[in-house]
Amino acid sequence: MRIQIVTFQGCPNASATRAALERALASAGIANRIEEVDTSAPETPEPLRGWGSPTVLIDGVDVEGQAAPTGPNCRLYRDVEGKVQGAPPESLLSAAIRHASRH
């Protein structure tokens, strides 16, 4: 399973996303390395540069189900109660990990 956090330098929600992803992986009993992708780095492939920050991709698939990049800006997510937040909720990450594990 390839897990990527796509973000830019100084993103205020990157550390919260990383922590939630690490908890979700630990809960699933998966010890995967998380690859950090900096959208502003010259070596970053063009297709990854268009994702909002932070975006989590598992095997190239966005955890929220976005089919295409959302644009190089700050990204927002909704928690289970519909509240807007800057990092994906752990429940969303856990569901995406379970889905990827089955395929």
Mean pLDDT by 10 residues, the chain (103 residues): 95 96 95 92 92 96 92 90 95 95 84
Look at the block and give the residue holding tokens 């800006």: 73
Task: List Cα–Cα distances, 15 to 81, 95, 102, in angstroms.
Answer: 22, 20, 27
Q: What is the pLDDT of residue 15?
A: 96
Which structural domain range is residue 79 located in? 3-102
Using CA atoms of 63, 68, 71, 75 in order, give the dihedral in degrees to the nearest 10: -20
What's the domain count of the chain?
1
Least Cα distance to 93 among 33, 23, 42, 9 occurs for: 23
pTM: predicted TM-score of the whole model, two decimal places: 0.93
Q: What is the pLDDT of residue 100?
A: 92
